[in-house]
Amino acid sequence: MKLVRYGDPGREKPGCLDKAGCLRDLSHLISDIAGDALSPAKLAELSKLETESLPLVENQPRLGPCVHQVGKFLCIGLNYEDHAKETGVENPSEPVVFLKATSAITGPYDPIVIPHGSTHTDWEVELGVVIGKRAKHVPLGKAGDYIAGYCVINDVSERHFQKHNTSQWAKGKSCDTFGPIGPWLVTSDEIADPQQLSLWLEVDGKRYQDGHTSKMIFDVKHLVSYLSRFFTLYPGDIISTGTPAGVGYAQKPEAIYLKPGQTVRLGITGLGEQKHKTTAEDILPR
């Protein structure tokens, strides 16, 4: 099932796509794509719906982030061998974990705002994993049972903010609009193997990233199990599983970074596409 959230920012309603790709309303059945709505029992109940009988949503409203009330936005660095290689580092011996502020979350077609003073805003297409039930000390063989579904993520990053005079990545990863998710949350029953998905990203029509999730150093189940050793994962928590080669700062002969007025498109097999315009930050006081 492809679950969506639609409407103006902060006023999104839950919905889904029917077999023809039309948007249908779910607000009479669940309050949002969040919390208990992501549980295995509730998703199984929703999967039995005749989606064509649900209220049709017309006029192509904005799609918001496909998950609401995200508690933790967990990210994995250097999780593709080709990306580690292009950055000049060895493959990590265990997952590189950092947190992205949930205030960075935005919709799949919303603008990416280049922060004031930014000179190194970069792109990273990633597979997102959404947790569906409380997870703590999860055995590797059971990790899949805790996954509600998958989505496209652009782990937008400001490399100077991320790396200059610091070993902490959060401030370079957490600027407003640096966490587009969606367009859909595709439930795990529709993805036979999350390690068999192609992912790509283009800027102004030029393809820079063209990867495959089979090339992850630590696969999805390993990450869920590993992270649950250190802290409890809750429904709606997101794991952004790393990016393949082709990021802007690794381009040759010199790095390429995003500027206002560009178009960024990215997608993953079966999970849909995102499309963003880049804009300059308005720094008027609010």
What pLDDT shows up at residue 286? 63
Residue 46 pLDDT more than 80?
Answer: yes
- Domains assigned to the chain: 68-280 (3.90.850.10)
What pLDDT shows up at residue 206? 98
CB 65 within 8 Å of CB 32: no
pLDDT in tens, 105-122: 999 999 999 999 999 999
Q: How far apart are CA 130 and CA 127, in angstroms?
A: 10
Stated as kind and residue range, the H or E segment containing 199 is strand 198-203
Q: How much is the average pLDDT of 95-104?
A: 97
Q: How much is the average pLDDT of 256-282?
A: 97
Residue 17 pLDDT more than 70?
Answer: yes
pLDDT in tens, 73-91: 999 999 999 999 998 899 9
What pLDDT shows up at residue 230? 97
What pLDDT shows up at residue 168? 73
**Torsion-angle region of residue 199: left (phi > 0), alpha (psi -120 to 50) or beta?**
beta
pLDDT in tens, 149-194: 999 999 999 999 987 767 678 889 999 999 999 999 999 999 999 9
Q: How far apart are CA 115 and CA 132, in angstroms?
A: 33
pLDDT in tens, 194-252: 999 999 999 999 999 999 999 999 999 999 999 999 999 999 999 999 999 999 999 99
